Amino acid sequence: MIVYIHGFNSSPASHKSNQLRERLAALGRANEFACPALPHWPQDAMALLEREVSGLAADQVTLIGSSLGGFYATYLTEKLGMRSVLVNPAITPHDGLRAYLGPQKNLYTGDEYELTEEHLAQLAGLHVRNPAKMDRYLLMHTTGDELLDWRIAVDHYRGCRQVIVQGSDHGFREFGDYIDIVFEFSS
């Protein structure tokens, strides 16, 4: 099972999610893909993700987390032991999202909400300061990410397999070119 975890103000309709869904469908594996629509509250998002993987053995699940989704995937990997592909992951969103406090609108769904200090506190409660299960991670990061510094992620996940893509951006428009690496890691 592959569970794609979308990022901040994103949705299951994101470009990377669609690429994964379409590739798995073309391989006759559509039933092996899930991408839940995450609530904006971190504790609610984590509860939903834990329900999504409940009843599955850790070696039956690969999480693919993009940006904030990578942050959530890290928490789940450390807690439950499943594999995670981290795509331009947020390391400390409880700090990084502080600049975005206030009104928010999900560009995919149109949902509006207020990003508050409570959101940041919930994120801080999920922060993994020192990931330990390095054999369970594949870090994929672009050096051109305009939001998240790839060098911080390389250092934070030192010891795991890493694919660093020169250039690109936070959205990682070339992600489709790397799906085979993702599938190889997940098997």
Residues 131 and 83: beta-carbon distance below 8 Å: no
Residue 17: what pLDDT? 96
Nearest 10 degrees: Cα torsion 170, 63, 19, 153? 20
Q: Residue 175: which CATH number?
A: 3.40.50.1820
Asked if the model's pLDDT at residue 171 lies above 90, the reply is no
Asked if the model's pLDDT at residue 156 lies above 90, the reply is yes
Domains: count for the chain: 1
Domain range enclosing 110: 2-186
pTM (2 d.p.): 0.96
pLDDT in tens, 102-138: 999 998 999 999 999 999 999 999 999 999 999 999 9
